[in-house]
């Protein structure tokens, strides 16, 4: 009996460890492998090593490593939240998990309609991954979303989704949609089609990167200010950047926490709006109905024929 009581606790601890360990590994990698910058510097992602491939090398950068660490961490968060589910929940984490799922489903249903209710897991995944990637900057690591490659990858995925749902009503209808409202506007329509993923990628990337850049500039400025004002103090007292303590954290609340979460929400929201907006649900459903009716008529005719033969 005792073993059964102890076991779940240990699994919990293991899962919590699984959440924290990837972040610790990321911090360790950063300390060990990335040379410390002299003073305050703004650089891109550090390249750990390059895999030689026939078509140019594939650089493994901080972005990829941190993204995988976030994904592993998130996986353990999900496992932890959904462990030991019961019909009548007695744990707080089950309430939290149910709340998250309910809110996501409500959001998807209210923005995309009943037909797209299955999109909730995808939207939830986008929200979670994006928010946690941006919030990684709180631990001092390089946030993967401040690399254009990551957000561009997501935006391309969304672009394929949009195109798939536009094509679902038939390729002819899709091609026709470019000639609206007037045929000679077709080039502009094509451009706006490609502008969607570009603007989504740049929006997310630009917001997170601008937060990082402004934080660094602010830290430098505060360091200079404290040297200017407190530089007359004797010895090492004058070298301590006193204003840099605490003050940047206030701005970090906006630039890291609020901006990161808001961008995740906006990315998910735009995904929903674009996917649902490009797909005429009513037309598709009525077409399906017509097809079903035709098919049922055919089968019924066949049945009648068969019965006549018999």
CA atoms of 128 and 146, how far apart (whole Å): 16
Using CB under 8 A as the binding rule, whether residue 202 contacts another protein is answered as: yes
Q: Which is nearer to another protein, 167 or 269 (CB)?
A: 269
Taking CB under 8 A as the criterion, the residue among 209, 242, 275, 276 binding another protein is: 209
Q: Which is nearer to another protein, 73 or 104 (CB)?
A: 104
What residues have CB less than 8 Å from 97, skipping those under 6 apart? Answer: 81, 82, 85
CB of 98 to another protein, least distance (A): 21
Q: Which is nearer to another protein, 158 or 270 (CB)?
A: 270
Taking CB under 8 A as the criterion, the residue among 16, 190, 213, 292 binding another protein is: 213
Site residues (CB under 8 A) for another protein, limited to 233-292: 262-263, 265-266, 269-270
What one-character DSSP code corresponds to residue 181? S
Q: Which is nearer to another protein, 22 or 278 (CB)?
A: 278
Neighbours of 200 (CB within 10 A): 22
Using CB under 8 A as the binding rule, whether residue 78 contacts another protein is answered as: no
Tell me the helices (H) and strands (E) count for the chain, helix number first: 10, 2
- In the chain, which ranges are E strands? 47-51, 58-61
CB of 7 to another protein, least distance (A): 43
- Supply φ then ψ for residue 59, to 5 degrees: -75, 130
CB of 205 to another protein, least distance (A): 8
CA atoms of 50 and 52, how far apart (whole Å): 6
CA atoms of 128 and 124, how far apart (whole Å): 6
Using CB under 8 A as the binding rule, whether residue 207 contacts another protein is answered as: yes
CA atoms of 25 and 31, how far apart (whole Å): 10
Q: Which is nearer to another protein, 152 or 167 (CB)?
A: 152
CB of 210 to another protein, least distance (A): 6
- Contact between 261 and 96 under an 8 Å Cβ cutoff? The reply is no
- Contact between 12 and 80 under an 8 Å Cβ cutoff? The reply is yes
CB of 27 to another protein, least distance (A): 25
Q: Which is nearer to another protein, 213 or 303 (CB)?
A: 213
Q: Which residue ranges make up the site for another protein (CB under 8 A)?
A: 42, 199, 202-203, 205-207, 209-210, 213, 262-263, 265-266, 269-270
């Amino acid at each position: 009996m005792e073993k059964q009581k102890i076991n779940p606790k240990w699994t919990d601890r293991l899962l919590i460890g699984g959440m924290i360990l990837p972040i610790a590994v990321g911090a360790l990698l950063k300390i060990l492998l990335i040379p410390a910058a002299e003073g305050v510097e703004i650089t891109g992602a550090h390249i750990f090593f390059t895999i030689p491939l026939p078509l140019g090398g594939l650089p493994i950068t901080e972005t990829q490593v941190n993204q995988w660490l976030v994904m592993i961490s998130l996986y353990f968060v999900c496992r932890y939240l959904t462990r030991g589910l019961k019909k009548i929940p007695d744990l707080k984490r089950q309430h939290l998990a149910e709340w998250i799922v309910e809110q996501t489903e409500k959001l998807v249903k209210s923005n995309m309609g009943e037909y797209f209710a299955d999109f909730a897991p995808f939207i939830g995944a986008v929200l979670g991954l994006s928010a946690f990637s941006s919030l990684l900057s709180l631990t001092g690591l390089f946030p993967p979303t401040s690399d254009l490659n990551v957000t561009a990858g997501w935006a391309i995925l969304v672009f394929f989704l949009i195109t798939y749902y536009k094509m679902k009503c038939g390729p002819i209808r899709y091609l026709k949609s470019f000639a609206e409202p007037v045929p000679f506007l077709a080039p502009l329509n094509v451009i706006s089609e490609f502008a969607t993923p570009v603007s989504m990628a740049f929006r997310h990337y630009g917001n997170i990167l601008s937060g990082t850049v402004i934080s660094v500039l602010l830290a430098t400025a505060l360091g200079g200010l404290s040297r200017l004002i407190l530089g007359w103090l004797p010895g090492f007292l004058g070298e301590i950047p006193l204003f840099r303590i605490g003050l940047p954290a206030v701005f970090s609340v906006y630039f890291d926490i609020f901006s990161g979460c808001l961008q995740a929400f906006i990315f998910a929201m735009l995904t929903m709006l674009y996917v649902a907006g490009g797909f005429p649900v009513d037309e598709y459903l009525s077409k399906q109905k017509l097809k079903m009716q035709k098919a049922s008529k055919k089968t019924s005719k066949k049945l009648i024929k068969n019965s006549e033969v018999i």
